Copies of this chain bind each other. A is one copy, B any other.
Amino acid sequence: MDGDTKTMTFLQELQDEPATLDDILISCRATLKYAIKTAHPRYFNQLSTGLDMVGLAADWLTSTANTNMFTYEVAPVFVLLEYVSLKKMREIIGWQDGRGDGIFSPGGAISNMYAMLLARFKMFPEVKEKGMSSVPRLVAFTSEHSHFSIKKGAAALGIGTESVICIKVDESGKMIPADLERRIVEAKQKGFVPFFVSATAGTTVYGAFDPLIAISDVCKKYNVWMHVDGAWGGSLLMSRRHRWKLDGVDRANSVTWNPHKMMSVPLQCSALLVREEGLMQNCNQMHACYLFQQDKHYDLSYDTGDKALQCGRHVDIFKLWLMWRAKGTIGFEAQIDKCLELSEYLYNKIKDREGYEMVFDGKPQHTNVCFWYLPPGIRYMEDKEERKKHLHKVAPVIKARMMEYGTTMVSYQPQGDKVNFFRMVISNPAATFEDIDFLIEEIERLGQDL
């Protein structure tokens, strides 16, 4: 059998008997061969792209150490590195002396859910023992363009998706604070209790930054927990040129920030930062006596496991910490600035180019550039509805062709009443101006006959 025929055995049942070492190596080669090349500078499909060599080395070391974050006893170094890194991140957010709390969790959706859990516990600590039947009807607020994890979290926590009120956004995708206030007042009039506002710093599709200062004023006025979902945009805090987009983030009660996105830390690396110290512990602790013995011979505050819903917790910190050491804050800043520069280059290149329409006006706030490509055949269609119907089918076909040729990958989606459009994002510092040029040429090559 040659390599490719062997590959076909991939999906056979797992066997009772061991395979040979040769078979194992063939499996590894085939796995890499058929894997999507997420480190390729022309892979623009997700918010997490690229492959940092120091981050990779750190992940390999992490695998070798093969331990668990729940106690200091089994992960003394990693627990301390998590401590210093979270403190540094809180300083960058702007909380005094980096005070507060935090944890690395398995992804932004879980970080957001943890934030919602904390907000509920802060307002109604009895909910931990007595459940939702002991509290009034709670409502959460987030923008129409926010990430779906807010609704997933509300469904899981027994709050229900109908209690997540979607606040209107302006044309560029930013939450409208006046609509937030209106909906909070409305909810209170109905007897509901507003407990949680999730503002987004860097929305998934448009890359919009909600106006945090105005939102924090509303949250303060009505005494509602303010969360900032900066899974995608939080990393801009590392850039002196771009951090103004998150002005007001220091007023938040909690912040999600995923270094595995814009900072190119290998997957996964997501942090939840919390302003109030001790709350996470009180909210989640169950005092399991087989793990968190109270008569240990070291400072028990380093046993972080009871802060989370998870028991065992993967070591996600070393990748981030070692990359930070290797690059310094200025290294992260440089790569973030570069990605934003590339997206501005793309925007300038296509905004007036024939065959392109921007989904919304104005320069990109993050690296997201949202646009339609109109093949010549539909460019001058007069029937608006007919044109829309055709346009909706363009991006999926171009994307499918990109994947068949294996040249590049970029995401598309509809949003609201807008038919399928491309969403370009750049988070790989290995991308160049030439890669952006290539993308445009490739879209035109693959789409001109549609």
User: Hey, which bits of chain A sit against chain B, CB under 8 A?
Assistant: 10-19, 21, 23-24, 27-28, 30-32, 34-36, 38-39, 45-46, 48, 51, 54, 56-61, 63-68, 73-78, 80-81, 83-85, 87-88, 106-110, 113, 117, 127-134, 137, 147-149, 151-163, 204-205, 260, 266-268, 284, 286-291, 293, 295-297, 309-315, 318, 321-322, 324-331, 393, 396, 399-400, 403, 409, 411-415, 420, 423
28 intermolecular pairs with C-beta atoms under 8 Å apart: A11-B83, A14-B329, A18-B325, A19-B325, A23-B325, A28-B57, A31-B318, A36-B67, A38-B74, A45-B73, A48-B66, A56-B66, A108-B312, A127-B160, A129-B160, A129-B161, A130-B160, A131-B158, A131-B160, A133-B137, A148-B286, A148-B311, A149-B311, A151-B286, A152-B284, A157-B157, A158-B159, A267-B315
Residues from chain B with a CB closer than 8 A to the CB of A35 are 65, 67, 75-78
Q: Is the CB of B329 within 8 A of A266?
A: no
Q: Is the CB of B16 within 8 A of A39?
A: no
Contact of A163 among B38, B48, B64, B131 (CB under 8 A): B131
> Which of A28, A35, A59, A130: most chain B CB closer than 10 A?
A35
Residues from chain B with a CB closer than 8 A to the CB of A48 are 66, 68, 312
Contact of A131 among B23, B109, B132, B204 (CB under 8 A): B132
Distance from A210 Cβ to chain B, minimum over Cβ atoms (Å): 18
Given A129-B160, A130-B162, A400-B297: A108 in contact with B311 (beta carbons within 8 A): yes
Name the residue of chain B whose CB is nearest to the CB of A315: B267
Q: Is the CB of A66 within 8 A of B38?
A: yes
Given A31-B318, A84-B13: A128 in contact with B155 (beta carbons within 8 A): yes
Known: A27-B325, A107-B312, A148-B287. 13 other contacts (CB 8 A): A13-B88, A14-B84, A14-B325, A16-B330, A24-B325, A28-B57, A36-B75, A51-B66, A109-B309, A130-B160, A134-B160, A151-B286, A290-B415
Q: Is the CB of A396 within 8 A of B293?
A: yes
Distance A149 CA – B153 CA, assembled complex (angstroms): 18
Q: Is the CB of A309 within 8 A of B113?
A: yes
Distance A230 CA – B253 CA, assembled complex (angstroms): 37
Residues from chain B with a CB closer than 8 A to the CB of A162 are 129-131
Q: Is the CB of A152 within 8 A of B309?
A: yes
Q: Is the CB of A61 within 8 A of B38?
A: no
Name the residue of chain B whose CB is nearest to the CB of A393: B295
The 5 closest A-B pairs by CB, nearest first: A158-B158, A131-B160, A132-B132, A132-B158, A106-B106
Name the residue of chain B whose CB is nearest to the CB of A12: B84
Q: Is the CB of B268 within 8 A of A314?
A: yes
